[in-house]
C-alpha cells in the first residue's frame, strides 16, 4: 500500500480468474479501500498487511478436487472478520471441518433464498429474496460452531455463519448486480459487523497523491507518453499539479486518431495544464510505414514499434540539455496489474496475460517507472480526473485502441480512406453521445442498461453501388459498430432505436463524401470481437 491509501482496508482473497476484481470494486463503491491478494497467501504475511476484514471470492474449481486452491487455515484465527462467497463459502466449510457434496442438480442464475435464522448479515433485507447462484457443489455439513442462516429448495446451506468468530459465508454471489440485496449484505458486513468507516473517496486523495508524486520524483525529470486517453491524461494532470514543467508530456500523433482529437489534446495540455507539452507530428512517417500493409497484426506491430522509436527519440533529444530523464510516468491501472499477475497480486487471478505495459527500452536506455494509478479501477481514475479538473470529453472518453483507426480500416490504410472514416466516425460519435446523454438524463446512470459503451465506424475494403440524385455512385459502405459492455471482455451489440440508426445513416450518406451506404453490425462478443481487426 502507498500513503494515499487509508489504513483501513479489506483484503479480497481471489480463488479464480478475476472473481475478486468485482468484489474489490463493490467494496470500493461503498467507500472502503480494498485490495486483491492471492488466495494461498500465508496467514502471517496477510496479518502483516493489517487487513480490517477478509473476503473470500468465488472460483471455478471444485473444493473436493485434490489440487483445488486451498486457504491457510490460520486466516480464520487472525481475529479479523471473514466473508466468503461461493468457492469462498465451500472452502471455509471444508477447511473448518464441514463437508461439501455434489448434488444431482446445480443452480445457475436467479434463485430464491429463504432465511433460516436471524443474521446480522441479512439486516434490512426480506425473509425471501432473489440471489445469483452459480454452483455445482454445495455445503451439506456446516463446521462446528456454525449455523445455517439461509437455504434454497436445492441448496441446504445457502448461507452459514459463526457470529462469535465473525465468519459469514454465502453460496450465492452478493457482488453480482442480479443479487437483489447484494450491496446491502456487503454493507451490513463492512459497517455493522466489521465497524468500518466510509473513508475512500477520490476527492480526498488528490492532495495526498500530488504530495506523493512530488516526493517520489524530487528534483528529477519525468517523461510521459500522453495518448489523450483517460489514464495517461489523468497522470498528466496529476503530474502537472505535482511538478509542473519538470514533466514533459510527449504526444505522438500517428495520424490515426479520431477527428479533432489531436487538437483537443493539445488544447487541454497547453492551455489548461502547466506541463511541458511536445506534439510529435509523425503522421507522414506512419503513412509511409503502413502503405500497402493489410494484415492486422502487422499493422499493430508497425504502429507499436514506431511509437517507441518516436518516443525514445524525443527522450534523447530532451537530454541534450544535460539534464537526464530519470522517470517514465505511466497510466497503468489496477486491472492491468491484476491481469499481468507479475507484480503485486501474484496468485490465481493473475496468469491471464503478460503485462500490457512492458516497454521495449532500447539498449542502454532505462527509466524508473512512476505509476500513480496502479491501485485504481477505471471508474476511480475517471473520478480522479474530474477532481483534477480534466474536461468531461477526456474523462468519459470511450476506449480507443492504441493502433487507432488503422485497425478500423480493413485492408491497406491510405489518406482518402482515413478521411472518409474520420468523417463518418465523427457523426457516429456525435449521434451516440447524444443518445447516451438522453439515457443518462432518464436514468441518472452513466452506464445504464442500454447505453452504448463503445461505438465507432469501420471502413471495409469494398465498394457498393448507390444512387444519389440522378447519379449512379460506386462508393464505400460504412459499418456502424455499437456495443453494450462493462469491460470489453464480453459485449452485446446495442439495440439502438430505429430513429437513431436512421439519423446516423442519413447523416453519413448526406455529409460524408465517398460513403453511400451504412450497415449495422449485429454480432456480439463472443463470437465476434468488438474491433474488426
Ligand atoms: P476486441 O476487439 O478484442 O477489443 O473485442 C476489446 C477492447 O480492446 C480494444 N482494443 C485494443 N486496444 N490496442 C489497444 O490499446 C489494440 O491493439 C486493441 N485492439 C482492441 C478495443 O477497442 C476494445 O475496447
11-46: pLDDT as tens digits: 999 998 667 888 999 999 999 999 999 999 999 999
Residue 456: which H helix or E strand, with range? Answer: strand 454-458
Average pLDDT on 88-106 reads: 94
Least confident of 250-254, 347-351, 417-421: 347-351
Contact 440, 446 (CB under 8 A): yes
Average pLDDT on 187-204 reads: 94
Residues 6+ apart with CB under 8 A from 169: 56, 82, 83, 84, 85, 88, 89, 92, 93, 159, 160, 161
Q: 429 in ligand 1 pocket by Cβ < 6 Å?
A: no
Average pLDDT on 186-202 reads: 95
| Residue 5 pLDDT exceeds 70 | no
* Residue 72: predicted pLDDT: 98
Contact 296, 533 (CB under 8 A): yes
CA 19–ligand 1 middle distance (angstroms)? 22
Identify the three-state secondary structure at position 178.
coil
> Known catalytic residues?
86, 173, 175
CA 243–ligand 1 middle distance (angstroms)? 32
| Residue 343 pLDDT exceeds 60 | no
Residue 212: which H helix or E strand, with range? Answer: helix 202-217
Contact 91, 70 (CB under 8 A): yes
* Residue 346: predicted pLDDT: 39
Report the atom number in ligand 1 closest to the C-alpha of 454. 24
Average pLDDT on 347-375 reads: 69
DSSP 361-388: PPTT---EEE-TTTT--HHHHHHHHHHT
User: What's the pLDDT tens digit per position in 414-452?
Assistant: 999 999 999 999 999 999 999 999 999 998 887 777 899
* Residue 210: predicted pLDDT: 96
User: Looking up cell 459497517, which residue turns up?
Assistant: 191
d(CA 33, CA 469): 62
Judged by phi (left if over 0) then psi (alpha if -120 to 50, else beta), residue 109 lies in left
d(CA 20, CA 4): 22
Q: What is the mean pLDDT of the chain?
A: 92
| Residue 291 pLDDT exceeds 90 | yes
Q: 521 in ligand 1 pocket by Cβ < 6 Å?
A: no
**pTM (two decimals):** 0.85
Residues 6+ apart with CB under 8 A from 198: 30, 31, 32, 191
Please count the other Cβ atoms lying within 10 Å of the Cβ belonging to residue 448: 13
CA 403–ligand 1 middle distance (angstroms)? 9
* Residue 348: predicted pLDDT: 41
Least confident of 275-279, 355-359, 418-422: 355-359
Amino acid at each position: 500500500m502507498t500513503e494515499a491509501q487509508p489504513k483501513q482496508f479489506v483484503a479480497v482473497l481471489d480463488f479464480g480468474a478475476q472473481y475478486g476484481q468485482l468484489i474489490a470494486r463493490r467494496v470500493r463503491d461503498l467507500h472502503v479501500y480494498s485490495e486483491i491478494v492471492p488466495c494461498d497467501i500465508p496467514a502471517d504475511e496477510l496479518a502483516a498487511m493489517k487487513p480490517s476484514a477478509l473476503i473470500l471470492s468465488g472460483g471455478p474449481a471444485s473444493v473436493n478436487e485434490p489440487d483445488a486452491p486451498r486457504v491457510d487455515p490460520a486466516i480464520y484465527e487472525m481475529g479479523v472478520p471473514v466473508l466468503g462467497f461461493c468457492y469462498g463459502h465451500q472452502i471455509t466449510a471444508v477447511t473448518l471441518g464441514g463437508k461439501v457434496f455434489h448434488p444431482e442438480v446445480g443452480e445457475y442464475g436467479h434463485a430464491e433464498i429463504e432465511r433460516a435464522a436471524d443474521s446480522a448479515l441479512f439486516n434490512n433485507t426480506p425473509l425471501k429474496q432473489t440471489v445469483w447462484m452459480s454452483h455445482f457443489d454445495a455445503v451439506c455439513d456446516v463446521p462446528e460452531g456454525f449455523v445455517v442462516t439461509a437455504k434454497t429448495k436445492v441448496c441446504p446451506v445457502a448461507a452459514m455463519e459463526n457470529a462469535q468468530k465473525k465468519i459469514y459465508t454465502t453460496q450465492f454471489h452478493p457482488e453480482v448486480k442480479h443479487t437483489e440485496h447484494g450491496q446491502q449484505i456487503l454493507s451490513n458486513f463492512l459497517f455493522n459487523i466489521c465497524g468500518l468507516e466510509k473513508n475512500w473517496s477520490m476527492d480526498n486523495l488528490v492532495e495526498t497523491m500530488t504530495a506523493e508524486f512530488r516526493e517520489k520524483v524530487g528534483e528529477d525529470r519525468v517523461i510521459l507518453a500522453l495518448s489523450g486517453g483517460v489514464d495517461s491524461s489523468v497522470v498528466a494532470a496529476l503530474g502537472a499539479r505535482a511538478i509542473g514543467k519538470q514533466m514533459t508530456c510527449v504526444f505522438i500523433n500517428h495520424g490515426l486518431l479520431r477527428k479533432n482529437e489531436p487538437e483537443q489534446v493539445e488544447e487541454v495540455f497547453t492551455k489548461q495544464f502547466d506541463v511541458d507539452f511536445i506534439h510529435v507530428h509523425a503522421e507522414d512517417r506512419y503513412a509511409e510505414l503502413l502503405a500497402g500493409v493489410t494484415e492486422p497484426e502487422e499493422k499493430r506491430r508497425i504502429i507499436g514499434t514506431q511509437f517507441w522509436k518516436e518516443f525514445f527519440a524525443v527522450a534523447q533529444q530532451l537530454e541534450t540539455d544535460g539534464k537526464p530523464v530519470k522517470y517514465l510516468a505511466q497510466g497503468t491501472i489496477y486491472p492491468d496489474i491484476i491481469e499481468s499477475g507479475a507484480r503485486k497480486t501474484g496468485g490465481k487471478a493473475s496468469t491471464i496475460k503478460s503485462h500490457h505495459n512492458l516497454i521495449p527500452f532500447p539498449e542502454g536506455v532505462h527509466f524508473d517507472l512512476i505509476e500513480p494509478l496502479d491501485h485504481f479501477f477505471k471508474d476511480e481514475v475517471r473520478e480522479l480526473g474530474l477532481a483534477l479538473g480534466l474536461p468531461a470529453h477526456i474523462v468519459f472518453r470511450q476506449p480507443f485502441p492504441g493502433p487507432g483507426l488503422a485497425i478500423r480500416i480493413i485492408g491497406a490504410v491510405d489518406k482518402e480512406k482515413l478521411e472518409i472514416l474520420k468523417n463518418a466516425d465523427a457523426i457516429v460519435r456525435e449521434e451516440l453521445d447524444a443518445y447516451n446523454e438522453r439515457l443518462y438524463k432518464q436514468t441518472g446512470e452513466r452506464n445504464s442498461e442500454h447505453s452504448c459503451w463503445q461505438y465507432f465506424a469501420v471502413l471495409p475494403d469494398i465498394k457498393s453501388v448507390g444512387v444519389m440524385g440522378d447519379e449512379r455512385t460506386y462508393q464505400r459502405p460504412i459499418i456502424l459498430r455499437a456495443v453494450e459492455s462493462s469491460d470489453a471482455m464480453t459485449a452485446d451489440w446495442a439495440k439502438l432505436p430505429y430513429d437513431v440508426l436512421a439519423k446516423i445513416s442519413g447523416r453519413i450518406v448526406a455529409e460524408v463524401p465517398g460513403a453511400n451506404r451504412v450497415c449495422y453490425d449485429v454480432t456480439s462478443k463472443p463470437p465476434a470481437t468488438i474491433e474488426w481487426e
